[in-house]
Chains A and B, each alone.
Chain A
Amino acid sequence: MTGYIIRRIAALVPVLVIVATVGFFLIYLTPGDPAAVMLGPDATQEELENLRRLMGLDRPLLVQLLRWYGRTLRGDLGYSIFLQRPVLQAIIERLEPTVLLTLFSLALAVAIGIPAGVIAAVRRNSWIDQAAMGVALFGVSVPNFWLGLNLILIFSVWLGVLPVAGYVPVEQSLAGAVRSLVLPAVVLGISGSALIARMTRSSMLEVLGQDYIRTARAKGNLERRVVYRHALRNAMIPTVTVIGLALGGLLAGAIVTETVFALPGVGRLVISSVLRRDYPVIQGILMFIAAIYVVINLLIDVVYVYLDPRVKYV
């Protein structure tokens, strides 16, 4: 077990190197001089040269890349001229709404998705299954942002029960924070629960087809007991994986949803930064989120191995 974890962590290193490399080369895909765009109005040639030196744009590519690895390793994600602060600080300042939104919607997705998936699998091909999977199919097909716009129109504008947009930080008012996150969490939760329901159903079906379940049934165990004692426990194993995958989807969905609901999170920061051509921030967020995602997946893999000792890969 320990050996496995160490091997998994070791395997992360090349992935993170790739992540950092992608982040680095992003700026080289860009037409034009990023230093020029970042400096803004009335910049002199001298100021431009200074910034280029600061960014190391005058050095050979390989040197820049190695320096970039070094900087990234130290957690230095660069400096945003527009925001007037280090990128890492800017990201951390925006983390609260994003983290809360992701957690809320994940909770919602798990609370709806797993029971729906289990019931659908147990009552396979019944009307419940078909209804649940129909709704789930809708959930994975509806565009998040469009759903968000419609929910704002209904709940905030017409019914006036929830705020239109914006965010109240937790330290200001917990209730306010929750109120401002309800609609976006519902939007994200819908697609998340749809995804989880579909995946839970299929892993349940797989488990229900296994020999030991048939044996349990043959021994005359009550159906409910079979489902909950035997099947669900085993189905939980791939479901952990599913949650990990869904989390990635939710993080991605948060980018869009935050913009629709004007939540000042990391997602909105990345979109504003694209519109401002604030490349250090885009780079930084790209790598920050990827690193988090990789670490979460590592944790999930570990939990997975813990739950299912039969899994002995690599």
Chain B
Amino acid sequence: MVERAEIVTAPARLVRPAGHLWLTAFRTLRRSKSATIGGAIVLAMVVVALAAPVLSPYDPLEIHVPRRLTGPGPAHLFGTDNMGRDILSRVIYGARVSLLVGGLVVLSAAGAGVALGLVAGYHDRLDRILMRIMDGLMAFPTTLLAIALMAALGARLSNVIFALAIVFTPRVARVVRSVTLVARELDYVQAAQALGARDSRILARHVLPNCLAPVIVQSTFIFAESVLAEAALSFLGVGLPPYVPSWGTIITTGRMFIQTAPWITIFPGVAILVAVLGLNLLGDGLRDLTDPRLRGAVS
């Protein structure tokens, strides 16, 4: 599987470190329609999540039984659930959970993946061991491994993040390793080596920047998958406990009332769809921008 995956994911163009990173990133983003739309959706999601206390009309945890199972209306735009909790507020706070899970999973998976990938790509002896372990972890379908980890760890937010980080780390490590393998052979890296630069310096100054673009692309997709995976785990009852306002748990609650109160399931479902769509669009766009040869490819 090692060999094959590299064909799909090995980047052709190697990016040199940019000066004004943010400005360049913004300008670059504007060149792709899907990246622009995706970026806008993701930005909106971030704003909603950060401004949740301001935006949500009610406390998402507030139980007010007399108003239970109210349909969408002026008082409750998305209606209420069987405990009278406001669905709109729960969906808004659900964005927080999704963002938190997705963000922390991406940070941990990218952090661990980059470190492992660099080491593996640079040290032939460690490469064999590390990549075998990554292969072993990748032999599990993602949801299954996450479910098994959750079973062992228990239904908590931190455990969802930990489980998904473990699941996605090998992917980043793979990508980084293949970039490193290519970068090692580049002239200026060879030159630096010949001049006696320390390994850590070479990795940090010359190899790491080359990994940036593919890791960002990969991270966007991991983000999208984490949002989906968290929702699925919570829906299955092995993710977050039902009182936490996550899009998955809201749907689980609503499942029992899908005929009498379909609004409980519809709105969080749409929220997941839009968020994941945005992330995928952004990922597609970024990939096209950084690697036009692979336009439309999926890692």
Nearest A residue to B279 via CB reads A141
Partner-contacting stretch, out of B102-110, B188-196, B209-217, B265-273: B265-273
Most chain A CB within a 10 A radius of its CB, from B132, B148, B273, B296 = B296
Most chain A CB within a 10 A radius of its CB, from B3, B151, B297, B298 = B151
Q: Are B152 and A30 in contact (CB under 8 A)?
A: yes
Q: Are A271 and B140 in contact (CB under 8 A)?
A: no
Q: Are A252 and B144 in contact (CB under 8 A)?
A: yes
Q: What residues of B have a CB within 8 angstroms of the CB of A15 in the complex?
A: 132, 135-136, 139
CB distance from A241 to the nearest CB of B (A): 5
**Chain A residues with a Cβ closer than 8 Å to the other chain, count:** 70
**Which among B144, B224, B258, B276 is the interface contact of A153 at CB below 8 angstroms?**
B258
CB distance from A28 to the nearest CB of B (A): 8
Q: Are A141 and B273 in contact (CB under 8 A)?
A: yes
Cα distance, A294 to B7, chains bound together (Å): 19
Residues of A within 8 A of B (CB): 14-19, 21-22, 26-27, 29-31, 120-121, 133, 137-138, 140-146, 149-150, 153, 157, 195, 198-199, 201-203, 205-206, 209, 238, 241, 248-249, 251-253, 255-256, 259, 270-271, 273-275, 277, 279, 282-283, 285-286, 289-291, 293-294, 297, 301, 304, 311, 313-314
Cα distance, A251 to B140, chains bound together (Å): 10
Given contacts A15-B136, A149-B265, A274-B148, 16 further A-B contacts (CB under 8 A): A14-B135, A15-B139, A21-B136, A138-B277, A143-B235, A149-B255, A157-B259, A206-B293, A241-B4, A248-B141, A249-B141, A256-B235, A271-B236, A289-B144, A293-B140, A311-B3
User: DSSP majority for the A interface?
Assistant: helix
Q: Are B144 and A251 in contact (CB under 8 A)?
A: yes
Nearest A residue to B134 via CB reads A18
Cα distance, A240 to B135, chains bound together (Å): 19
Q: Are B152 and A144 in contact (CB under 8 A)?
A: no
Nearest A residue to B270 via CB reads A146
Cα distance, A89 to B135, chains bound together (Å): 27
B32 at the interface (CB under 8 A from A): no
**Which among A141, A202, A285 is the interface contact of B298 at CB below 8 angstroms?**
A202
B231 at the interface (CB under 8 A from A): yes
Show 20 residue pairs from A and B whose CB-CB distance is below 8 angstroms, ordered by the A residue.
A14-B132, A22-B137, A120-B296, A137-B280, A138-B277, A141-B276, A141-B277, A143-B231, A143-B235, A143-B273, A195-B298, A198-B298, A201-B296, A206-B293, A238-B8, A252-B144, A255-B141, A279-B152, A286-B145, A293-B141
